[in-house]
Chain A
Amino acid sequence: MDFSWIGQYYPYFIAGTVNTIVLAFFTVLFGVLIGIVVALMKISKNRLLKFVASAYIEFIRGTPLVVQISIVFYGLPVKFPEITFLGMEMERFIPGIIALSINSGAYVAEIFRAGIQAIDKGQTEAARSLGLTQAMAMRYVILPQAIRNILPALGNEFVVVIKESSIVYIIGIAELMFSSSIVRGATYRALEPLLLTAVIYFILTFTLSKFLGIAERRMRAGD
Chain B
Amino acid sequence: MIKVNGLHKKFGKLHVLNGIDIEINKGEVVVVIGPSGSGKSTFLRCLNLLEHPTDGEIIFEGVSITSKHNDINKQRQKMGMVFQQFNLFPHLSVLENITLAPRKLKKLSKEEAEKKAFDLLKRIGLEEKANNYPGQLSGGQKQRIAIVRALAMSPDVMLFDEPTSALDPEMVGEVLDVMKKLASEGMTMVVVTHEMGFAKEVGTRVIFMDEGRILEENTPEELFGNPRNARTREFLSKIL
Binding site for B on A (CB under 8 A): 120, 122-123, 125-133, 136, 140-141, 144-145
Contact call A122/B76, Cβ cutoff below 8 A:
no
* Interface of chain B, main secondary structure: mixed
Q: Choose among B50, B74, B89, B104 the residue that contacts A136 (Cβ–Cβ < 8 A).
A: B104
- Per the 8 Å Cβ criterion, residues 35-85 of B in contact with A are 48, 50, 73-77, 79-81, 83, 85
Q: Choose among B79, B80, B90, B104 the residue that contacts A140 (Cβ–Cβ < 8 A).
A: B104
Question: If the complex has contacts A122-B85, A140-B104, are A130 and B91 also in contact, measured as CB distance less than 8 A?
Answer: no
- B104: A residues at CB distance < 8 A: 132, 136, 140
**Which of A123, A126, A128, A129 counts the most B-chain CB atoms under 10 A from its CB?**
A129
Known interface pairs A129-B81, A141-B89; 14 further A-B residue pairs with C-beta atoms within 8 A, sorted by A's residue number: A122-B87, A125-B50, A126-B81, A126-B87, A128-B76, A129-B50, A130-B105, A130-B153, A131-B73, A131-B77, A131-B153, A133-B73, A140-B100, A145-B91
Q: Is the C-beta of B9 less than 8 angstroms from some C-beta in chain A? A: no
Contact call A145/B90, Cβ cutoff below 8 A:
yes
In the bound complex, how far is the Cα of B48 from the Cα of A145, in angstroms? 25
Contact call A130/B50, Cβ cutoff below 8 A:
no
30 contacts between A and B (CB under 8 A): A120-B85, A122-B85, A122-B87, A123-B87, A123-B89, A125-B50, A125-B83, A126-B83, A126-B87, A129-B48, A129-B76, A129-B79, A129-B80, A129-B81, A129-B150, A130-B76, A130-B77, A130-B80, A130-B105, A130-B150, A131-B74, A131-B77, A131-B101, A132-B73, A132-B105, A133-B73, A136-B104, A141-B89, A145-B89, A145-B91
- A120: B residues at CB distance < 8 A: 85, 87
Q: Is the C-beta of B213 less than 8 angstroms from some C-beta in chain A? A: no
**Which of A131, A141, A144 counts the most B-chain CB atoms under 10 A from its CB?**
A131
In the bound complex, how far is the Cα of B74 from the Cα of A125, in angstroms? 15
- Per the 8 Å Cβ criterion, residues 149-166 of B in contact with A are 149-150, 153
Question: How far does the Cβ of A133 sit from chain B's closest Cβ, in whole Å?
Answer: 6
In the bound complex, how far is the Cα of B77 from the Cα of A111, in angstroms? 33
Nearest 4 CB-CB pairings of A with B: A131-B77, A126-B87, A130-B101, A129-B81
Question: How far does the Cβ of B91 sit from chain A's closest Cβ, in whole Å?
Answer: 5
In the bound complex, how far is the Cα of B100 from the Cα of A123, in angstroms? 13
Question: If the complex has contacts A123-B89, A125-B50, A140-B100, are A131 and B76 also in contact, measured as CB distance less than 8 A?
Answer: yes
- B153: A residues at CB distance < 8 A: 130-131
- A136: B residues at CB distance < 8 A: 104
- B80: A residues at CB distance < 8 A: 129-130
- A141: B residues at CB distance < 8 A: 89, 100
**Which of A123, A126, A128 counts the most B-chain CB atoms under 10 A from its CB?**
A126
In the bound complex, how far is the Cα of B49 from the Cα of A131, in angstroms? 11
In the bound complex, how far is the Cα of B146 from the Cα of A128, in angstroms? 14
- Per the 8 Å Cβ criterion, residues 103-124 of B in contact with A are 104-105
